[in-house]
Amino acid sequence: MKIGIFSTFMSPLATPAMIRDFGRRAEDTGLDSIWMGEHVVLFDRNTFPYPSSKDGRIPVPEGGGMLDVVATFGFLAAATSTIRLGTGVALVPQRNPMYTAKEMCTLDWLTDGRIDFGIGVGWNKEEVEACGYSWEDRGARCDEFLEVMRRLWTEPVVDFHGKWVNIETCRLDPKPIQKPHVPIIVGGYAGAALRRAVRFGSGWYGFSRDPAGTKEMIARLDAAFAKEGKKRPPEFQIIMTPPPGMLIDAMREYEEVGVHRLVLHLGNQRPERTQARLAEIAPLVRAYA
């Protein structure tokens, strides 16, 4: 089992110096990967609550906000040399698929193949609509966008005629370093998300599930594969972020239920707190080195 860390970098705490230092420390600690969440705009009121907080709001510092994933990963890539960088998750249905395909393959090119493209459909109705898309059909749009991106990454010339994308004799270069393309890691718990993982995924990413809940989700995932007449491939990655506050010693149970990569919360981004958190995680990293 490989150990990574999840942190949605937020201003004003996430300064260039803090991010650069954190990336180097994380790599020196032996962490497998850094994962970063995505939201481009936030709202004072939402139709649906944020699922990972008690008050339904994304916890951001007063006067601060979430940094852009692509720009931050480019910055981190220049400060590191081996650690992988994963989107946890990129909100595909509210992104332009041509730009997203270009951004991810460029990051993969510049990092020499260190990018994992974690994807999801999102929970924030207001954000989807602010980006110019409709809410109700975001799942179908996600699937079409993923198909377009996959083809742009793997085919020299693409013709595609869908509901949202129409392109003729289209070329996208450079191609990703990783083959056949940047790994697509599908997040989500609904049946549609599991079907998406079977169709497009190199892995599945879960969030805030304990080992028992993770085992249940793996069983559901395997059932989704079986329904399509397939068996989950050995190289298919199960990735999980444990609930906040879970004791380090309890995390070894994830390996027993079949998790390949465990992505722990960083928590507070103050420099002294990040240093303490990395020191806390280090024994677990060494145990699986």
Domain ranges, ordered by start, for the chain: 2-89+104-120+181-287
The answer on pLDDT for 102 being more than 90 is yes
Q: Does the pLDDT at position 8 exceed 90?
A: no
Q: How far apart are the first and last CA of the chain?
A: 9
- Give the pTM: 0.95
| Tokens coding 243 | 């609930």
pLDDT value of position 260: 98
CATH of 2-89+104-120+181-287, one of 3.20.20.70, 3.30.420.40, 3.40.50.300, 3.20.20.30: 3.20.20.30
Query: Which of 162, 158, 163, 164 lies closest to 181 in space, CA to CA?
Result: 158
Q: Indicate the pLDDT class of residue 199, thresholds 50, 70 and 90.
A: very high
Task: Determine the pLDDT at residue 42.
Answer: 87
Of 171 and 53, the one with more pLDDT:
171
Predicted local distance difference test score (pLDDT) of residue 285: 97
Contact residues for 40 (Cβ-Cβ < 8 A; gap 6+): 68, 94, 127, 131
Residues 63, 67: Cα–Cα separation, whole Å: 13
Q: Answer whether residue 146 shows pLDDT above 80.
A: yes
Which two three-digit tokens encode residue 165?
């994308």
Average pLDDT over residues 66-76: 97
The closest of 262, 200, 257, 261 to 225, measured between CA atoms, is 200
Give the mean model confidence (pLDDT) for residues 8-33.
Answer: 96
Please state the rounded mean pLDDT for residues 242-257. 94
pLDDT, one tens digit per residue, over 31-69 is: 999 999 999 998 988 899 887 667 777 778 788 899 999
| β-bridge pairing 158-161 and 90-91 | unpaired
Question: Percentage of the chain surpassing pLDDT 90?
Answer: 89
Question: For position 57, what pLDDT does the model report?
Answer: 74
